[in-house]
Structure 1
Amino acid sequence: MGEKITFCKGGGCTAKLGAGILSRVLERLPKGKQDPNLLIGYDSKDDAAVYQVSDDIAIVQTLDFFPPMVEDPYTFGKIAATNALSDIYAMGGEVKTALNIVCFPEQMDLNILGEIMRGGSEKVIEAGGTLAGGHSINDTDVKYGLSVTGVVHPKKIYPNNGGRPGDKLILTKKLGVGIICMANRVQEASEEAMREAIASMTTLNKYAAEICRKYEIHACTDVTGFSFLGHLHEMMDGTLSCRIDGSSVPVFPEALEAADEFLLTAAGQRNRNHVQDFVKFVNVPFAMEEVLYDPQTSGGLLVAVSAGHAKALLQELCDAGLPAAIVGEVTEKETAEITVEM
């Protein structure tokens, strides 16, 4: 429709507070009385909260919003909603309702806001959910996202830390959208690279999650602002290790080219600072390291699946048109928590 959003300083999941800062704040909060029905809370570093309401139903709650990382308001709305809906799928749940979260300058053209919310609404409908309301405030910058409620069977929840030695690790989307969006901000990304990145960021993880339900999944997370390695670190949970085949990790080629030109994000460097002590690189080029630390907006699912099911799951994901790959395996705890080799 021609309207543009002025870029914010850090859009998408690059705008997240760093994991190190966040953990220092969260660990100081009063916990209160433990509720046995709260199956997963913020203290587990998982993707969403899960609260059991009956023997066969648990509620999954999540919230995500951020500033724009693309100029087109409608596209931004779709990306923000796809990203917010993702945590429901990462927990093994189904989307039921969503509420809009809007920060918008009153003096800005309201047609822009309408396009953002139209994009978001379309993704909620595609997810099979209902947009049930929301909240808006007058702000100096544009921010948009969703609070989402889903449901899951209490015995079919995907924790992010339930991996077992021998599990194969499967990633369902390519890495590098943070670097590509950064390159685009300084007019250094090709139109084709941005089209591919936007197509990835607007693909619901619903389709991958529906396929995963047929297989023995021990752990799952979605790769977002803390990067592939950051979320992998959370999956290992201090009790496991993993070996990653860097040459198998799906990556946008132009992200590697941009990283070689040092078109990097501050959030990527925060991720490196937070996780690097847990990572051992063997023959991994600098650009690939940067992609593995790159904050992803609306990234794919990272799944720990039993070794016997991995090939069949991968085949079905690829048949569905997803750029999925087996990227490594979970091991018993080793000296290096995460070893990446190429």
Structure 2
Amino acid sequence: MGPTDLSDALAGFSQPDDPNLLVGIETSDDAAVYRVTDDIAMINTVDFITPPVDDPYWFGQISAANSISDVYSMGGKPLTALNLVMFPSKHLDMGVLRDILRGGHDKVHEAGASLVGGHSVDDNEPKYGLCVNGVVHPDRILTNAGAKPGDALILTKPLGSGVLFNAVRAGKYEFSALERETLPTIASLNRTAMEQALKYDIHACTDVTGFGILGHSLEMALGSNTNIYIDYRSLPFYTGAPEMYKRGETTGSNKANRALVARNRLAMSIELRSFEEELLYDPQTSGGLLLALPAEQAGLLLKDLHDNGVGVAAQVGEVTDEHVGLTVR
């Protein structure tokens, strides 16, 4: 669903008033956080997707990594996961379902969490994801609402997965190239990135997923009451993504993501061609973390990320105390 449709549907609902609910829906954060004791807060999140690729094992891995990422983006550790399965059992071989679940199982195991059950229904199209539970210390929760003026922004994965998935379906991009150059990064956990980030004074974090880099940056700007500058020429893109937009490919989410950003203040201080601008709205599946931290620590974190295998991480912008909104330069 488009973000504006969803926000309209939720408009007017009462907010929980439990004092132990430390993070709810008020800033569109990545997960809920509930204090259990003075030292333990529980992270709850759920996510499921339709197949971004036809290969069922890759589908399972990507979806599981996408679901688990929300726990990492809150600064937490995933503990348990429950499968969410929608599958056309009368039309697809059950071996396909087994491979989807195997992909999810392997990714949960890689995260050090336990897969403990789930729920399934028969459906017209396969859908798969996880409900993930994790923990974090109540005093060390990361949210999308803590960015401070003077912070630098670091992104830990490239952008452009949405248009590449669509291009493969349309026969405009080879799956073999996607599998070789892109899928290993998309399916990778954000675990290492967060482990390195927690060594520093991270003020805010979100993972960049379906609303694109501008949509999730906007949520951080609104939650933090700041202006976020995005340096377009510093953004990393997956191989082939700019070319696909240049050739006229797009996604079903770009228009909705653009509408979300258009409801707020966006300044474009760089002249971009139309296909370059589309990359700002490209929906990500299992995207990277967007981290806000003091500018003087950014270089050190980038070095740690690169030294520990997150070689695509890049500094992509900064936070200021100007008008609340976004600036692309």
Q: State the TM-score, normalizing by the size of structure 1.
A: 0.92
Partner of 1:195: 180
Aligned pair 1:99/2:82, yes or no? Answer: yes
1:181-330 equivalent positions in 2, closer than 5 A: 181-190=165-174, 191-237=176-222, 239-276=225-262, 277-281=264-268, 282-322=270-310, 323-330=312-319
**CA displacement at 1:139 relative to structure 2:** 1.1
Distance in 2 between residues matched to 1:333 and 1:132, nearest whole Å: 47
Aligned pair 1:160/2:144, yes or no? Answer: yes
Matched letter for residue 87 of structure 2:
F
RMSD: 1.3
**CA displacement at 1:275 relative to structure 2:** 0.5
Secondary structure at 1:118 match in 2: helix
Find the partner of 2:161 among 139, 162, 177: 177
**CA displacement at 1:194 relative to structure 2:** 4.3
Contact 2:181 2:239 (C-alpha < 8 Å) held by counterparts: no
Per-residue CA distance 1:291-337 (angstroms, 9 max, x = gap): 11000000000000111211100111111222000001000123x72
Contact 1:268 1:293 (C-alpha < 8 Å) held by counterparts: yes
Partner of 2:35: 52
Partner of 1:124: 108
For structure 2, list consecutive stretches of 5 or more residues without a partner in the other structure: none
Distance in 2 between residues matched to 1:51 and 1:247, nearest whole Å: 39
Contact 1:246 1:284 (C-alpha < 8 Å) held by counterparts: no
Partner of 1:4: none
Aligned pair 1:19/2:8, yes or no? Answer: no
Distance in 1 between residues matched to 2:287 and 2:179, nearest whole Å: 15
Secondary structure at 1:217 match in 2: coil
**CA displacement at 1:252 relative to structure 2:** 1.6
Aligned pair 1:144/2:142, yes or no? Answer: no
Distance in 2 between residues matched to 1:158 and 1:204, nearest whole Å: 18
What number of residue pairs does the alignment pair up?
323
Distance in 2 between residues matched to 1:152 and 1:309, nearest whole Å: 23
Query: Could you tell which deviates more after superposition, 265-274 or 163-172?
Result: 265-274
**CA displacement at 1:242 relative to structure 2:** 1.7
**CA displacement at 1:168 relative to structure 2:** 0.1
Aligned pair 1:332/2:321, yes or no? Answer: yes
Contact 2:182 2:239 (C-alpha < 8 Å) held by counterparts: no
Contact 2:65 2:286 (C-alpha < 8 Å) held by counterparts: yes
Secondary structure at 2:26 match in 1: helix
Contact 1:180 1:197 (C-alpha < 8 Å) held by counterparts: no
Distance in 2 between residues matched to 1:340 and 1:284, nearest whole Å: 10
For structure 1, list consecutive stretches of 5 or more residues without a partner in the other structure: 1-16
Partner of 1:89: 72
Secondary structure at 2:81 match in 1: strand
